[in-house]
Amino acid sequence: VGGVAVLLGAWGAAGQGSFQNLGFESATIVPVSAGQVVDFGQAFPGWTGYVGGAQQFAAVYNGLFMDTAGFSIIDRGFTNPFGEPGGLIQGNFTGVLMSGITGVLQPADATLAQTGLVPAGTESLQFRAHLDNFSSSDTFDVTLGGQTLSLIPLQAGANYILYGADIHAWAGQTAELAFTAIAQRPHHVDTYLYLDSIQFSNQPVPEPGIFGLSALGALLLGWRTLGRRQ
């Protein structure tokens, strides 16, 4: 993991073209209490949120839904009600995608999407994320231009995994980038995806070494075991 961290530290970040707010730092939250609803456009400028394919116009601030699908923007004032590692990842804000149920108890995925120009010379996409550990069926995916990316876990942080994906084929093209927290079917509990620090890079994704993979696997196993005990 240490070796991978050194490689990542040397990555040059390419310009991000027309993509906006990839670190969620552009949120403009009018002071409200934790758990209150805020305007989606103010919480996630540049992004569009969908629950079960329906566009969303509100998000919750510093709170989580218990069963309902939706979105949250959190900052340093967030306290995870479940006591698990999910929380602020980097900077002032982190986005949370919550898949769960909508309407008449129908499972619904939560998708955060934005269309923009992938900078010329881009080789890879990287982002930091934490997926909750309440169920072995919790999962998420990332698509670019409608195609699911093959994600490589690169580094483990205190409360996130750094992922990378090869996207050189989209360099210089306009495409939709979408992150989806996939709902359990049948629904038991929400799937919570904490997302931050999305970047386009002009460097290829380095393959994790065997020791890095072993350390990362041990950490992921530890998180899942903790989640099941809770």
- Give the percent of the chain with pLDDT over 90: 70
Structure tokens at 14: 């390419």
Among 85, 72, 77, CA closest to 159: 85
Structure tokens at 4: 């991978």
Asked whether the predicted pLDDT for residue 104 surpasses 60, the reply is yes
Round the average pLDDT of the chain to a whole number and report it.
86
Mean pLDDT along residues 23-45: 95
Asked whether the predicted pLDDT for residue 86 surpasses 70, the reply is yes
Query: What whole-number distance in Å separates Cα of residue 130 and Cα of residue 36?
Result: 23
Q: What confidence tier does 7 reach under pLDDT thresholds 50, 70, 90? A: very low
Asked whether the predicted pLDDT for residue 14 surpasses 90, the reply is no
Q: What confidence tier does 2 reach under pLDDT thresholds 50, 70, 90? A: very low
Give the contacts of 214 (CB within 8 A, at least 6 positions apart): none
Q: Per-residue pLDDT tens for 210-221? A: 434 444 554 444
Mean pLDDT along residues 46-75: 97
Query: What whole-number distance in Å separates Cα of residue 80 and Cα of residue 86?
Result: 7
Q: Torsion angle of alpha carbons 17, 18, 24, 30, nearest 10°? A: 140
pLDDT of residue 6: 32
Asked whether the predicted pLDDT for residue 160 surpasses 60, the reply is yes
Mean pLDDT along residues 218-228: 46
Q: What confidence tier does 16 reach under pLDDT thresholds 50, 70, 90? A: very low
Residue found under tokens 């698509």: 143
Mean pLDDT along residues 189-198: 95
Residue found under tokens 């020791």: 211
Asked whether the predicted pLDDT for residue 123 surpasses 50, the reply is yes
Q: Which residue intervals of the chain are DSSP H helices?
A: 2-9, 40-43, 210-229
Lowest mean pLDDT among 36-40, 63-67, 148-152: 63-67
Report yes or no: 30 and 42 within 8 Å, Cβ to Cβ.
yes
Query: What whole-number distance in Å separates Cα of residue 60 and Cα of residue 34?
Result: 8
- Percentage helix, strand, coil, to 5, in the chain? 15, 40, 45
- Give the HSE-up count for residue 182: Cα atoms under 13 Å, Cβ half-sphere: 11
pLDDT of residue 208: 64
pLDDT of residue 162: 97
Asked whether the predicted pLDDT for residue 181 surpasses 50, the reply is yes
Mode of pairing for the β-strands spanning 139-144 and 110-117: unpaired
Q: What confidence tier does 209 reach under pLDDT thresholds 50, 70, 90? A: low
